[in-house]
């Protein structure tokens, strides 16, 4: 009996149900538009929030020093009483990557330890009373002036100020050395 009913149903042609179009009420339309508007408002708000946060972070980074004192990129403090005499050999401050030297003409100088040619670490050569670079042979006077070799300029320095009986060396601000051609220590032609 059930098999007969199933066969009868299967043999009938399929008739699709009629399409019923339900028109939205004005309230539904208004609600849909409101949702779209709300979404855009929230999206704009979120974008603005991100922008404000990024600007705040950038200003914070600008206003507050990124480097601590005693760390390369920050300030180094040397008591005036510890300043070497004008004829003493330079003192290496490896944490700050500079040589501290006291000069007759320019007072204390902080010489960046990196050669101005291709960036090797030059050395103090006491027997010659000058700095010498082991890489390509550039030479610099005790005051950091170019003497000879392929380096294009004298040694770079860091600015020094004096505060409350101390020298303050700012290793975050490099001052490029003068061109080799104007160096007062340049070797006379042989």
For 68, the token pair is 């601590």
Q: Pick the piece of the chain touching ligand FES (CB under 6 A) from 7-15, 85-93, 116-124, 157-165.
A: 116-124
Choose which of 115, 155, 160, 180 interacts with ligand FES (CB under 6 A): 115
Shortest Cβ distance from residue 132 to ligand FES (Å)? 9
Q: Is 133 in the site for ligand FES (CB under 6 A)?
A: yes
Of 62-70, 95-103, 147-155, 178-186, the segment contacting ligand FES by CB under 6 A is 147-155
- DSSP reduced 3-state for 58: helix
113 in contact with ligand FES (CB under 6 A): no
Residue 103 Cβ vs ligand FES, minimum distance, rounded to whole Å? 22
Structure-block tokens of residue 43 = 């999206």
Q: What is the DSSP letter of 152?
A: S
CB count within 10 Å of CB 86 equals 13
Q: Is position 149 an interface residue for ligand FES (rule: CB under 6 A)?
A: yes
Q: Is 175 an interacting residue with respect to ligand FES (CB under 6 A)?
A: no
Q: Which of 151, 155, 160, 169 binds ligand FES (CB under 6 A)?
A: 151
- Indicate the burial class of 168 (C-beta count within 10 angstroms; 0-12, 13-18, 19 or more): middle
Give how far Cα 137 sits from Cα of 110, 117, 121, Å: 22, 10, 11
Q: How far apart are CA 35 and CA 27, in angstroms?
A: 12
Q: How far apart are CA 124 and CA 140, in angstroms?
A: 9
Shortest Cβ distance from residue 156 to ligand FES (Å)?
13
Q: For residue 155, state whether it binds ligand FES (rule: CB under 6 A).
A: no
Rule CB under 6 A: say whether 135 interacts with ligand FES: yes
Q: Does 136 bind ligand FES (CB under 6 A)?
A: yes
Q: Which two structure tokens, joined as six digits, stand for 46?
A: 């979120």
Q: How many CB atoms lie within 10 A of CB 57?
A: 10
Q: Kindly state whether residue 117 participates in binding ligand FES, applying the rule CB under 6 A.
A: yes
Q: Site residues (CB under 6 A) for ligand FES?
A: 115, 117-120, 133, 135-138, 149-151
């Amino acid at each position: 009996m059930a098999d007969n009913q199933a066969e009868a149903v299967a043999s009938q042609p399929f008739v699709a149900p009629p399409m019923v179009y339900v028109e939205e009420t004005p309230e539904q339309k208004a609600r849909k538009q409101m949702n779209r508007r709300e979404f855009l408002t929230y999206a704009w708000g979120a974008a603005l929030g991100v922008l404000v946060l990024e600007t705040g972070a950038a200003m914070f980074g600008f206003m507050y020093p990124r480097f601590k004192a005693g760390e390369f990129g920050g300030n180094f403090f040397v008591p005036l009483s510890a300043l070497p005499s004008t004829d003493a050999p330079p003192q290496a401050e490896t944490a700050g990557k500079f040589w501290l030297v006291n000069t007759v003409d320019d007072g204390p100088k902080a010489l960046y330890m990196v050669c101005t040619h291709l960036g090797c670490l030059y050395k103090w050569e006491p027997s010659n009373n000058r700095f010498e670079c082991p890489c390509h042979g550039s030479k610099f006077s005790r005051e950091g002036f170019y003497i000879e070799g392929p380096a294009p300029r004298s040694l770079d320095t860091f600015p020094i100020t004096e505060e409350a009986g101390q020298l303050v060396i700012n290793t975050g601000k490099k001052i490029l050395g003068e061109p080799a051609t104007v160096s007062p220590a340049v070797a006379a032609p042989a």
